[in-house]
Amino acid sequence: MKTQTSKPPITEPARAPLLVQTEAVQTGTPTQGKSNPCANSKTLLCAIAGFGVALSLAAPWALADATAQAIEQVEVKGKAYQSKATTGDAAQLLAEQGVEFSNAGGISSLPILRGLNDERVKLVVDGAESTSACGNHMNPALSYIDASRVSSVEVLAGLTPVSMGGDSIAGTIVVESEPTRYAESADKLLTTGSAGYFYRSNSRNDGVSLQAVLANQTLSLTYSGSWDKAESYRDGDGNTVLDTLYESQSHNLTLGWQGENQELSAKLTHQEVPHQGFPNQYMDMVGNTSNGINLRYQRDFAWGRLNASANWQDVDHEMGFFTDEKPGTMPMVTEGRDIGYKLALALPVGDDATLRLGHEFHRFELDDYWPAVAGSMMMGPMDYININDGQRDRLALYAELDQVLNEQWQLQMGLRYEHLVSDTGGVQPYNTMSSGMGGMGGMAGMGNADAAAAMAFNAIGHQRKDDNLDITLLAKYQINAQTQLEFGIAQKTRSPSLYERYSWGRGTMSMAMIGWYGDGNGYVGDPNLKPEVATTAAATFTWQGDGQEFSLAPYYTHVDNYIDAVQVGSFNPRMAMMVSRPQLQFTNVEAELWGVELRGKQRVLSRNDHELSLSFSADVTRGKNTDSDNNLYHIMPLNTSLSLVHQYKQWSNTLQWQWVDEKSRVDELRLANTTDEYSVLNLTSQLQWNQFSLSAGVSNLLGEQYQEPLGGVYLSGWIASDQTQSFAALPGRGRSVDLGIRYQF
């Protein structure tokens, strides 16, 4: 039985790793035993403001090598991802590599890169992009891939190459599932696969995963599936954090074909989420069904490499209520569709440069309506139409040049143009009566406000066109064999989403249904929003010695037309007269973000197959609305991590201490909560034994009680209370014993 991959995975065109603030990590089963990424003379330290992982890039500048007859694939080799050996949330995988997330549902957390969150981050899963088809962003792109399927992740914060960017200002996260496998020779048949199971005591979270491969030398068939279910988790004091339960399952079928210097694959995807609780939202997910197909083609020619891909994804999404932990009555339905294609060429230019040319198209279609409720005077007699035939089309062209000037200097320059057109049809409220009674437990005053708002919205033209330009200039200076400096400047642009532009309701309930911030406030869109334009300057100083690594990465971003909010009213949630929350409208402002990321690693001991190392990280980020001098929302306070890692052959153990400072700089407009400082101790152990991968650990070992700095409000807890107090911050997860096993056959 062989498990050889005959060709590299189909990816974006090979590129030189001149990427300030980039990190990639291979995931899978640990097979390397003890390894020293500094041992190979061709190794570059890529912890450049990354997330604490030192990577080895195999001959990274081979594209410019005069002896290279064809485009080389940049192979990213990294520390094996071990702690999630079976299945679970892919967002948690990225969180363990340093990406921050705002809390949402159990599998629907929203990524944050350097203070810029959610749709400001470009998420690419197996070469395809998908869009949240929900007014609360309950189904982001990462929710569609289970951690058991992830083979590698790459995080590019700030200065993203134009070939990997577009319609984003924070950066890009690239997630790849396992590459297609083929038999070694024509007379052999490859049959292989794996099965896994995990259990986490806190929330009684368990899941299973299965993968099976059948292939000859030219054809390959792969099935992968997973199931994951959890009850509501408990905080450090042992109290249940209401409405944090979920269940999901996914099934994927991949057919691959390879010929000489080329490969074609077709992947069919299906996901079902019957329910998912959102403790910081007024609604929950009561159904999310996704079906998709992803086609990818790669071919190497004597003159370069061609990459082509096309994808389609349909999503049927429904919000409502499903648990006594957060009762209510109201259906909301969303139908979304993503369609796109990408064409990319990588061309050697002389002996020391590579030119990348690309063309992309992406369309997102959206219908969002709220069915009338029989017998309700307020939620009827008509369906409430929020987004009607919404459409958002992006057409992109880019050119990018990697240039090796000499042994010390390397440059990357890129230009990307995107033309975006968004539009939507007419809308309607539940009714056109002159007054309303309220809904969703007594949220008053909807009918009149929404009837007038619908009339005003239908009276204007809705089509908007944006012409966006991205520019990236990067440089790397190799000071000596141990020290290097990478720096650059970039302009990135993102156009408003359909919800930011076209959410129109002005009633209490209709505004409360819009918003992905988890803040308990209400939102309305603005068709005249302008695209966000971010200018970022960043640098990374890295040094590595014998068993030592260090990096320092400061950055600064100024955002023209940053999409924030302005208050247009207030409301009493669920008619709780002692609690008032703001009603906000999206608006353009000027904003600034800045910070620094520090990473270090020291080998303490290396003897008789034992290796002991100490790693450290610290991050500080600040963000301001410079028009109002208000702090930006979802900015993580100062946080540090210290890890002691012991490695013995195929057995590794990690003791990690995480400390987070108090959050005192908060968004006062949104009534964001302050949080206290806290520290958490985690213990993990992984063992590779024959065909088994075993993992065990205890997270939050000391049972620390704390509140999530990026968790938003504990709305489900407030609903279950007497509703006389202000919203509290969402409690964090308490102690959990985590076990996992995977068998490879």
CA–CA–CA angle 301, 303, 305 (5° rounding): 55
pLDDT number for residue 453: 97
Look-up of token digits 């590019």: 156
Structure tokens at 425: 């049809």
For residue 555, the enclosing domain spans 22-744
CB atoms under 10 Å from CB of 364, counted, come to 23
6 located within any domain: no
47 confidence band (pLDDT: 50, 70, 90): very low
Nearest in space to 296 (alpha carbons), one of 258, 260, 270, 337 = 258
pLDDT(42) > 60? no
> Averaging pLDDT over each range in 20-24, 56-60, 498-502, which range is the top one?
498-502
14 located within any domain: no
What are the C-alpha distances in Å from 18 to residues 401, 408, 473? 11, 13, 10
CA–CA–CA angle 414, 420, 422 (5° rounding): 160
CA dist 9 and 102 (Å) reads: 31
Instruction: Name the residue with higher pLDDT: 423 or 448.
Output: 423
- Please give the radius of gyration of the chain, using alpha carbons only, rounded to the nearest integer: 25
Question: Please, what is the average pLDDT of the chain?
Answer: 88
CA dist 652 and 550 (Å) reads: 22
pLDDT number for residue 1: 32
- Condensed to tens digits (0 to 9), the pLDDT of residues 169-202 reads 999 999 999 999 999 999 999 999 999 999 999 9
Nearest in space to 176 (alpha carbons), one of 56, 267, 70 = 267
pLDDT(218) > 50? yes
Look-up of token digits 């014993």: 737
- Condensed to tens digits (0 to 9), the pLDDT of residues 723-741 reads 999 999 999 999 999 999 9
- Condensed to tens digits (0 to 9), the pLDDT of residues 608-632 reads 999 999 999 999 999 999 999 999 9
1 located within any domain: no
CA dist 311 and 301 (Å) reads: 24
Residues 286-307 as b/e (b if ≥16 CB within 10 A, e otherwise) read bbbebebebbbbbebeeebbbb
In order, the DSSP letters of 610-662 are EEEEEEEEEEEEEEEETTTTEEPSS----EEEEEEEEEETTEEEEEEEEEE--
Structure tokens at 730: 């969402």
Which residue type occupies 98? Answer: G
Say if residue 162 is exposed, middle or buried (CB neighbours under 10 Å; 0-12, 13-18, 19+). Answer: buried
Contact 277, 107 (CB under 8 A): no
Count of domains observed in the chain: 1
Contact 207, 86 (CB under 8 A): yes
392 located within any domain: yes
pLDDT(38) > 80? no
- Dihedral sign for Cα atoms in the order 120, 125, 127, 129: negative
Look-up of token digits 């919800």: 499
580 located within any domain: yes
The average pLDDT across 549-571 equals: 98
CA dist 368 and 496 (Å) reads: 17
128 located within any domain: yes
Q: Is 228 left (phi over 0), alpha (psi -120 to 50) or beta?
A: beta
- Compute the CA torsion angle 448, 453, 455, 456 (nearest 10 deg): 140
CA dist 220 and 72 (Å) reads: 24
Strand partners, 229: 206, 247
CA dist 186 and 188 (Å) reads: 6
- Condensed to tens digits (0 to 9), the pLDDT of residues 93-128 reads 787 667 899 999 999 999 999 999 999 999 999 999
- Dihedral sign for Cα atoms in the order 386, 494, 73, 480: negative
CA dist 669 and 185 (Å) reads: 64
2 located within any domain: no
pLDDT(585) > 70? yes
Contact 555, 114 (CB under 8 A): yes
pLDDT number for residue 448: 80
What are the C-alpha distances in Å from 334 to residues 143, 206, 379, 384, 523? 16, 29, 17, 12, 18
Q: What is the CATH number of the domain that holds 231?
A: 2.40.170.20
**Residue 429, preceding bond cis, omega within 30 degrees?**
no
pTM: 0.89
60 confidence band (pLDDT: 50, 70, 90): very low
17 located within any domain: no
